Amino acid sequence: MREEIAISNNMTKKILNVIFAALALSPLLCFAQCTADAETSSPSARYELSVKADESENSISVDMTVTVKNTFADNLDSLVFAFYPDAFTLKTPLPVDPAFTDAAYPYGLNAGSYSFLQAGGRDVKRVSLCETPCRIEAFLSSPLGYGQSTEIVFSYDLTLPVCATRYGCNDFSVNLTWFYPVLCRYKDGEFAFEEYCPTGDPFAFDCAEYGLSLDCPQDWQVLCSAPQTEKDGTVRKYRSEHLRDLAIFMSPEAQITTLSGDGYTVNVMHDGSRAYAAKYALDALTIFSSAFGDLPSDEYSLVFTPFMTAGAEFSNAAMISSSLPFSETEKTVAHETAHQWWYYAVGSDQVSAPWQDEALAQWSTLLYFEKRDMRGYADALRKGMNDALTDYLSTQSALGEDGLCDVSRKITDYRDATDYYVTVYCKAALAADICAKSVTTNEFCRALAVYAKRYALSFATDEEMFAALDESGKGTGRLFRAALFAAKYR
């Protein structure tokens, strides 16, 4: 039997105590005080983080208390968390698809590391720290009854990998995303832990309440997915009652461009060359709000930083590659901004059904250009998707492959990045487009608005999405499903 200890990939074994009981916890609000009628919609987890960033930029200290209320089952014997910094330690296969290794590690392969100083709580008898990669399980001393709450405390140090991925630091910014133990979703009678997958976005989590106290050099620029509430010297505080993830971006030398209008404020972190992108983001927020309904938050951040692919979405924020050519920037901003509806506001299972949010983000990008009177550009994007899909199908068929581009696969079942791209970003998006053309763009938007409202800050399976789209009586969900699973798309 292994001891329940924390692990540092640099093999220093600088680990310390897992605290099993009697931790002195800071006072927190009691979830039990929540009213009964708020119970179903209130988050099941509240994270209070204290993060300290060292001047050296790649060393981070984190103290976190997560309060978990059992809204899941009669009794819980343990709580399961995902801890993705473990994927960047190079103990296991690289956290990026082989096709992106050079882009992800432009400074050469290097490992991040972590070391836990504390992991436990007053109701915790032991904690398993990443014995299974990226998985933390806190075993409770007695079952947590339905409606009861408990607190788990984690204190740990991170040494960030130097890379151009979601998590890590580079020569422009420190990118802290998925850097803390995240409570897994509870479904089908258990916590649904998902190991980090190098393809796509292996994140499927519920919204939660977040509080952050961030201590970093006073002259650093910072953007966070939670709104800032206070700044006192080197300490800045942030809070949100409903984030699907907490993301922090810090840079010693960035510029921040801010643009407001139509009820939204956009902040762009960049090197001085991307101020123009704020207008794209604001236009996208305006167009998508008109089509799908307002977002839960009125502040949105874009961070232009070295990044291995075009972009990535977070709650109230997106990373965009700073090496994108001008011609690619607007569509990437539109796509990532659409994820504020189809990822952040409406959660979906990005592991089991990665097409669900990506197809809608892609289709929303087409809508953006049509609303901007750039129909020719939208048609060029359609053609690009169709050509990529057709080429892939014909070359793979010629090689004797079958069962191609099946959207019902889990993210781990795609054969490579190309398979994933043409299936999720092209085939599924074209299916949405076929559906929109069948019922009209306006009707498709109306159906998506129903879906967005029904599952705001919640989570929808693909079948729940089809059912919501069908509510208008136009058969929109049925048509979308038929197009997704049809043998041919053009």
Q: What's the closest the beta carbon of residue 335 comes to Zn ion, in angstroms?
A: 6
Among 145-153, 292-300, 317-325, 355-363, the segment contacting Zn ion (CB under 5 A): 355-363
What is the nearest approach in angstroms of Zn ion to the Cβ of residue 339? 6
Least Å from the CB of residue 68 to Zn ion: 29
Per CB under 5 A, 346 contacts Zn ion: no
Q: Which is nearer to Zn ion, 358 or 470 (CB)?
A: 358
Cβ closest to Zn ion, residue 209 vs residue 349: 349
Token pair of 6 as six digits: 């924390």
What minimum distance in Å lies between the beta carbon of 198 and Zn ion? 16
From the CB of 424, what's the least distance to Zn ion, in Å? Answer: 9
Closer by beta carbon to Zn ion, 152 or else 361: 361
| Residue number, 121 or 311, with CB nearest to Zn ion | 311
Site string for Zn ion, 11-50 (x = CB under 5 A): ----------------------------------------
- Give dist(CA 138, CA 156) in Å, integer: 16
How far is the C-alpha of 483 from the C-alpha of 141, rounded, in Å? 50
> Whole-number minimum distance, CB 305 to Zn ion, in Å?
17
Q: How many residues does the chain have?
A: 490
Q: Residue 361 or 450: which CB sits closer to Zn ion?
A: 361
Which residues pair with residue 190 across a beta bridge?
A: 187
> CA-to-CA distance for 190 and 174, rounded, in angstroms?
34
Buried b / exposed e over 95-118, threshold 16 CB at 10 Å, is bbbebbeebbbeeeeeebbbbbbb
**Sign, CA torsion 128/130/131/134:** positive
Strands 317-321 and 311-314, how do they pair?
antiparallel
Name the phi and psi angles at 448, rounded to 5. Answer: -65, -35
Q: Which is nearer to Zn ion, 166 or 474 (CB)?
A: 166
Q: At closest approach, how far in Å is the CB of 254 from Zn ion? A: 24
Between 361 and 479, CB nearer to Zn ion: 361
| Residue closer to Zn ion (CB basis): 67 or 175 | 175
The residue range among 116-124, 351-359, 374-382, 454-462 that interacts with Zn ion, by the rule CB under 5 A, is: 351-359
Stretch that binds Zn ion, among 3-11, 124-132, 184-192, 353-361 (CB under 5 A): 353-361
Q: Report the residue number, 363 or 392, with the smaller CB distance to Zn ion.
A: 363
Shortest distance, position 318 Cβ to Zn ion, whole Å: 9
Does 317 help bind Zn ion (rule: CB under 5 A)?
A: no
In the bound complex, what is the minimum distance in angstroms from residue 388's beta carbon to Zn ion? 15
Between residues 221 and 365, which has the closer beta carbon with respect to Zn ion?
365
Name the residue whose CB lies closest to Zn ion. Answer: 361
Q: Which residues ranging from 182 to 241 are in contact with Zn ion (CB under 5 A)?
A: none
* Minimum distance from residue 378 beta carbon to Zn ion (Å): 17
Cβ closest to Zn ion, residue 115 vs residue 315: 315
Find the part of the chain contacting Zn ion (CB under 5 A) among 60-68, 231-239, 361-369, 398-406: 361-369
What minimum distance in Å lies between the beta carbon of 332 and Zn ion? 9
Q: Which is nearer to Zn ion, 80 or 361 (CB)?
A: 361
Least Cβ distance, residue 6 to Zn ion (angstroms): 33
Residues that bind Zn ion (rule: CB under 5 A) add up to a total of: 2
Q: Which among 205-213, 295-303, 356-364, 381-389 is the span making contact with Zn ion, rule CB under 5 A?
A: 356-364
Stretch that binds Zn ion, among 142-150, 270-278, 357-365, 403-411 (CB under 5 A): 357-365
Structure tokens at 125: 């008898």
Q: Are 216 and 234 in contact (CB under 8 A)?
A: yes
CB of 312 to Zn ion, least distance (A): 8
Is the CB of 331 or the CB of 481 nearer to Zn ion? 331
Binding piece for Zn ion, criterion CB under 5 A, among 274-282, 350-358, 416-424, 476-484? 350-358
Asked if 361 is part of the footprint of Zn ion (rule: CB under 5 A), the reply reads yes
Among 36-44, 184-192, 238-246, 354-362, which window interacts with Zn ion (CB under 5 A)?
354-362
Nearest to 256 by CA among 274, 231, 240, 241: 274
Query: Which residues make up the interface to Zn ion (CB under 5 A)?
Result: 358, 361
